[in-house]
Amino acid sequence: MHDVTLALAVILAAGFATAKLGQLIRLPSVTGFICAGLLLGPSALNLITEEAIIGKLDHFTQIALMLIAFGIGKHLEIERLRRTAKSVGYIGISETLGAFLFVSAGTFFVALITGVGEPTWKIKDFLALAMLLGAVSVATAPAATLHVMRELKAAGPLTTTLMAVVAIDDGLAIMFFGIAVSAARHIVGSELGSIGVAVISSLTEIIFSLLMGVITGLIIDFVIHRLRRRGEMLTVGLALLLLCGEAARLLDLSPLLAGMAVGFTIVNRDRRDVRLFKAINHFEPPIYVLFFTLAGSHLNLSALVIAGWVGLVYFLLRAFGKFIGCNIGGRLAAAAPTVTRLLGLALIPQAGVAIGLIFLIKNDAALGAYSSIIIPVVLGGIVLSELTGPVCARFAVEKAGEAAVGAKVVKAPGTSVQRDAEPIAETDGIRLVPWTWERLKPPQDAEGAVIFGLSLSGSGPGLARMATLLAHYYRARPTAVRVLSPGPDKKYKDPDLDSQALFDKVASEVRALGYELDTKIVENENVADGILSAAHTQKTSAIILGHPLVVTIQEFNRVVEAVARDAPCQVIVVRFAGVLHTERILVPVVDMKNLGMLADIVRSLSGVGEHSITLLTMVHASAFEEELEEVEEILLEWVEKENLTPFVRCRAVATEARSRAIVNEAAQHDLIIMAASPTRGLRRLFFGSLAEDVAQHCQKPMLIVHS
């Protein structure tokens, strides 16, 4: 069959039919696809010729590998991996070393005893052969593993650890392979360079592959976040992803590592917009069928005969090394018992990366002689591992209780609240709902201050209100600080008229809440230094700044960063949009660290007026109902501990894009309170800022808290 279109039709139909038959006896779909490939390929019916496989259909394999790598990157979310970082490190190193050592030692002795290879081979040739087989054995098959996890909708410690270990496996495989190739050349006397050069070369390939992926991921995130239609996301995302893969291939880098880095970058952005993953998920099924069926057609059953005992030992010792390594690494890391006992079973599959490595050996002039043994041995092992590996992976996940086929993903429903229209006061473009609730009672022993920068009359009353509410909580005094810089004549302007008018305007707002306003004028050329000097001359519980403090947003951001860096307390930026009202408050919580930063504001607002506060936490889109309930319970425990139960409700939502989930929820609220991203410089460029992203897309007032 030489016609590509007909070949595609036959492959898709046969792969689908065989997978369905396999499911009747509880075999994973991957196994069915591979069996279909074996039947169609040169090993059996030979309907799909080797020429068609290698020359005409190989493009689909390359596309599938990039999609697979991209999908693995999604599972490398730093927030979720922190809990398993120790386990992943110990297990990843242990299982790779286990496979390398067991396979190298076992195949060396078996090859030596059985006398495979050329009659002229010496001990050094068998040693070089064993080292190369050991290096290739490190690689796993992320495609098969990922497909089984998706098919089972698996979630839990084993699944999270598994995907992280699979991801680092291929990076380690490239490094092991580079070292083994260099060592083998030394052993056979074909190269006199140092092994250190091989290590550096391997690390360079890994670093530049990851760097290319990170840059592509940032570009994709920037573009995709501005698109709404899934078709547009799929088109742009797929184009950039495949371009990254081809560029990596042309530069002799690893497309697999680059693809992982793309997914890793997108999923770890602060706004975590992962809609592209879902768009690609709808595109993947036929590509995956083609990939696994073609992988099966590559495999030749005669390889099992040629490989003989060496191939059998390779397969058994690789599986044994992975299993023992995971067990040892899990015990060292004190991982969960299910991870320690079962993870090794899920690492048996091997295909794409290993196949690529053995063909690199074949094309190596110095080591090509060993490929006549290595290729059938590894392909024989792949036949066995791809047929048994997905079954073992499925067994491990089901035994761990993390399979949830058919489980229902629940997204908390939105609520619609109707209320009577409120009177609105407008001050120079800033709209403010007047305070009509009970006046606050200042403490007799007020100490310290909550200060706010006063530069414009329009934002003054809004800043004064927030400062007064916080001052009431801290038992402090609301204090307006006006920073004056020198004019062209290098002299400070007489502030009496302008400043007093501003102070009088905000003082009336403070009195409406039941407090009296303190005022302070600071003469300083630098606004940030002026505010900080006012904060350091007294006990200051909080500093409140409002947009725009100075002429441009960029300049304002520099002021905020300077104040937040040296302030003795939290810095709260008030972003005015729409109508400032504080009755219904939304507090998005990405993690418990955010909640710690926002705790004082939540407490201060829950105790005055008729405020109702919603703590909103966001989890990944594939979360199950049990996971949503577990996250809500964690928030409820905090609420109960703080005695805020009557005022605060907790809600967890499954979402593909954090910022869009917040913007949608904000439609039912008056005010948003968020923690600012703590990162700066390159970390800020990589991770971004969820709070800033929400501010750009939401027409609601916001309080952004800087620790």
Mean predicted lDDT score pLDDT of the chain: 79
Confidence (pLDDT) at 190: 52
Is residue 203 assigned to a domain?
yes
Q: Are 566 and 557 in contact (CB under 8 A)?
A: no
pLDDT band at 548 (very low <50, low <70, confident <90, very high): low
Is residue 4 assigned to a domain?
no
User: Which element (helix H / strand E) includes 541?
Assistant: strand 540-546
Q: What is the pLDDT of residues 253-308, one digit of tens each?
A: 778 778 888 988 998 888 888 888 888 877 778 887 887 787 777 666 665 666 67
pLDDT band at 192 (very low <50, low <70, confident <90, very high): very low
Whether residues 651 and 697 fall in one domain: yes
- Structural domains of the chain, count: 3
Whether residues 616 and 548 fall in one domain: no
Q: What are the structure tokens assigned to 483, written together?
A: 């920073």
Whether residues 206 and 123 fall in one domain: yes
Confidence (pLDDT) at 232: 87
pLDDT band at 215 (very low <50, low <70, confident <90, very high): very high
Residue 178 to residue 581: CA distance in whole angstroms = 62
Residue 426 to residue 578: CA distance in whole angstroms = 11
- Mean pLDDT, residues 210-226: 90
Confidence (pLDDT) at 153: 72
Confidence (pLDDT) at 36: 87
Residue 579 to residue 192: CA distance in whole angstroms = 74
Q: What is the pLDDT of residues 464-515, one digit of tens each?
A: 899 999 999 999 999 998 888 766 555 555 444 467 777 888 888 899 888 9
One-letter amino acid for residue 50 of the chain: E
Which of these three, 522, 554, 578, is where a domain ends?
Answer: 578
Q: What is the pLDDT of residues 636-666, one digit of tens each?
A: 888 888 887 777 888 888 888 888 889 888 8
Residue 527 has pLDDT above 70, yes or no: yes
Whether residues 242 and 265 fall in one domain: yes
Residue 251 has pLDDT above 60, yes or no: yes
Is residue 13 assigned to a domain?
no
Whether residues 97 and 208 fall in one domain: yes
Is residue 181 assigned to a domain?
yes
Residue 114 to residue 101: CA distance in whole angstroms = 20
pLDDT band at 695 (very low <50, low <70, confident <90, very high): confident
Confidence (pLDDT) at 204: 79
Is residue 40 assigned to a domain?
no
Residue 645 to residue 696: CA distance in whole angstroms = 32
Say whether the peptide bond before residue 548 is cis (omega within 30 degrees of 0): yes
Whether residues 571 and 631 fall in one domain: no
Residue 79 has pLDDT above 80, yes or no: no
Residue 612 has pLDDT above 80, yes or no: yes
Say whether the peptide bond before residue 443 is cis (omega within 30 degrees of 0): no
Confidence (pLDDT) at 51: 67
Whether residues 158 and 110 fall in one domain: yes
Q: What is the pLDDT of residues 92-109, one digit of tens each?
A: 889 889 989 999 999 888
Is residue 309 assigned to a domain?
yes
Residue 511 to residue 440: CA distance in whole angstroms = 10
Minimum mean pLDDT among 54-58, 206-210, 536-540, 655-659: which range? 54-58
Confidence (pLDDT) at 116: 77
Confidence (pLDDT) at 243: 93
Whether residues 504 and 597 fall in one domain: no
Whether residues 243 and 359 fall in one domain: yes
pLDDT band at 2 (very low <50, low <70, confident <90, very high): low
Confidence (pLDDT) at 291: 78
Which of these three, 561, 578, 595, is where a domain ends?
Answer: 578
Q: What are the structure tokens assigned to 240, written together?
A: 């950039």
Q: What are the structure tokens assigned to 512, written together?
A: 């409406």
- Mean pLDDT, residues 403-426: 45
Confidence (pLDDT) at 414: 38
Which of these three, 578, 607, 642, is where a domain ends?
Answer: 578
Is residue 8 assigned to a domain?
no
Is residue 45 assigned to a domain?
no
Confidence (pLDDT) at 552: 57
Confidence (pLDDT) at 412: 38
- In CATH, what number is assigned to the domain containing residue 591? 3.40.50.620
Q: What is the pLDDT of residues 105-161, one digit of tens each?
A: 998 888 888 877 777 788 888 888 888 888 888 887 766 676 777 777 777 777 777
Exposure of 600 in the CB half-sphere (CA atoms within 13 A): 22
Whether residues 565 and 624 fall in one domain: no
- In CATH, what number is assigned to the domain containing residue 301? 1.20.1530.20
Q: Are 199 and 175 in contact (CB under 8 A)?
A: yes
Look at residues 357, 279, 352, 456 and name the one whose alpha carbon lies nearest to residue 100: 357
User: Which element (helix H / strand E) includes 648?
Assistant: strand 648-655
Whether residues 471 and 334 fall in one domain: no
Whether residues 589 and 647 fall in one domain: yes
Confidence (pLDDT) at 478: 92
Residue 279 to residue 276: CA distance in whole angstroms = 5
**Domain coverage including residue 253:** 60-399
Confidence (pLDDT) at 408: 41
Residue 216 has pLDDT above 90, yes or no: yes
